[in-house]
Structure 1
Amino acid sequence: MSASQSSSRRDLIRLAAAAIGGAVLPGFARAGVRPETYSSGEIVENGHRFFGSISRGLAEGLEKANKQWGRPNAYILGQEAGGAFVGGVRYGEGTMFTRNAGQKGVFWQGPSIGLDAGADGDRTMMLVYNLPEVNSIYRRYAGVNGSAYLVGGLGFTALNNDEVVVMPVRAGLGARLGLALGYIKFTPDSTWNPF
């Protein structure tokens, strides 16, 4: 991918999320180190700082997720944009935080298909459960995504690949209604290819 394509993708994502987000700085990470977990209080505090006043449902959603999967050992803060009319795509970028392996810049993209229409720009916090090592994030995570909001909203989704679960928490602007099956794929570099 050329530098201009990468730059235009970043500009598109930032433009779609501009009303609700700022830039996220890239970081670094050590491969081969299993990240330590984060407490519910730490995640809720970071969520409040990241989402602001929209985050009232964050603590309740986190409590339910922690009962099912334990405590997250990584989380991602970023921004994304997506759109759909039956088939859809989503593109995002952010920084993955781990307690003992530092920060790592990540990109994600993915297709979806279903009864889904609309467009949205979101600030996204992704909680990552059971990540065996930092570089294990780079794979596809499948799941069902439902959206129902006009102007703005907060939504939770659970995606998985084997034992690793990624739970995106999205607070965004746009108009979106539907239910779709799809996946997101994490990559270390920006790409327009959603597959």
Structure 2
Amino acid sequence: MMRYVPHMLLALVLAAGLGLSGCATAPNDPTGQNQTQYNPQTGRVEGAQYTENELAAAISTHLGVSAESAASVIERMFRKQGSPVGYITGQEASGAVGVGLRYGKGTLWMKDGRSSEIYWQGPSIGFDFGADGAKAFVLVYNLNDPDDIYRRFPGVNGSAFLLAGMAVNYQRAEGITLAPIRTGVGARLGANVGYLSYSRKRKILPF
């Protein structure tokens, strides 16, 4: 039992630190390009997608990278995954002492104008050491209903890559794909495997 105490303490420190620092997101979609498309046959808002230019500008602003670096990452993402229907801006804290922990808080922005607060947390196992705190930007694919994002998303093995000083990896569940983009101290490509659980409310324990 005692061997788990350091991990539990680290979880409490990371979660508390993230909660105190708040969430650096704007009250409106950072791209300023909300477009609502209502389908009267299905009774749902659907079909709207972000462009490369919109996302490159949003990434550059939120992560503090150059427009050229953001554009190079988005260009590769569009080639591999196509156009996302939404994205998450937020911040996170993470660390690893044998078993890594990651906590995040942010806002989900949908192209059709919907938005919602979101938290994420989860364990990872690998060669990540220390602790860090950084902003996070997550591309969201194939999500029609924002409520469907509140679930566990396993990481996709072998999907991580580094480009223009940014680390990208994929998470996938029930046909929905998430692509977290991190930079600075958050851009760590340790040999970790695990998952992130996305929720409406903050959770202290990630298990």
| TM-score normalised over the length of structure 2 | 0.73
Q: Residue 169 of structure 1 corresponds to which residue in structure 2?
A: 181
Query: What do you get for the CA RMSD once the two structures are aligned?
Result: 3.0
Deviation at 1:58, TM superposition (A): 2.4
Indicate how the Cα distance of structure 1 residues 39 and 115 shifts in structure 2: closer, same or farther if over 3 A, else same: same
Q: Residue 12 of structure 1 corresponds to which residue in structure 2?
A: 17
Q: Residue 24 of structure 1 corresponds to which residue in structure 2?
A: 25
How far apart in 1 are the matches of 2:90 and 2:68? 19
Indicate how the Cα distance of structure 1 residues 85 and 61 shifts in structure 2: closer, same or farther if over 3 A, else same: same
Structure 1 range deviating more: 71-80 or 128-137: 128-137
Structure 1 range deviating more: 109-118 or 170-179: 170-179
How far apart in 2 are the matches of 1:12 and 1:25? 20
1:117-166 C-alpha deviation (Å, 9 max, x unpaired): 22211100000011131111111111148699xxxx53111111132110
Structure 2: tracts of 5 or more residues without a match: 1-12, 29-43
The match for 2:93 among 74, 81, 106 is: 81
The match for 1:63 among 50, 68, 75 is: 75
Structure 1 range deviating more: 111-120 or 124-133: 111-120
Identity of aligned residues (%): 35
Deviation at 1:89, TM superposition (A): 0.6
Instruction: Answer whether contact 2:23 2:106 (CA < 8 A) is retained.
Output: no
Rg larger for:
2
Give secondary structure in 1 for the equivalent of 2:129. strand
Deviation at 1:77, TM superposition (A): 0.2
Q: Residue 106 of structure 1 corresponds to which residue in structure 2?
A: 118
Give secondary structure in 2 for the equivalent of 1:97. strand
Deviation at 1:13, TM superposition (A): 1.4
Q: Residue 141 of structure 1 corresponds to which residue in structure 2?
A: 153
Indicate how the Cα distance of structure 1 residues 47 and 176 shifts in structure 2: closer, same or farther if over 3 A, else same: closer
Deviation at 1:116, TM superposition (A): 2.5
Instruction: Answer whether contact 1:48 1:55 (CA < 8 A) is retained.
Output: yes
How far apart in 2 are the matches of 1:175 and 1:157? 10
Indicate how the Cα distance of structure 1 residues 26 and 185 shifts in structure 2: closer, same or farther if over 3 A, else same: farther
Indicate how the Cα distance of structure 1 residues 9 and 103 shifts in structure 2: closer, same or farther if over 3 A, else same: farther
1:184 aligns with 2:196: yes
Instruction: Answer whether contact 1:38 1:73 (CA < 8 A) is retained.
Output: yes
Letter in 1 for 2:25: V
How far apart in 1 are the matches of 2:131 and 2:160? 13
Q: Residue 5 of structure 1 corresponds to which residue in structure 2?
A: none
Number of equivalenced pairs: 177
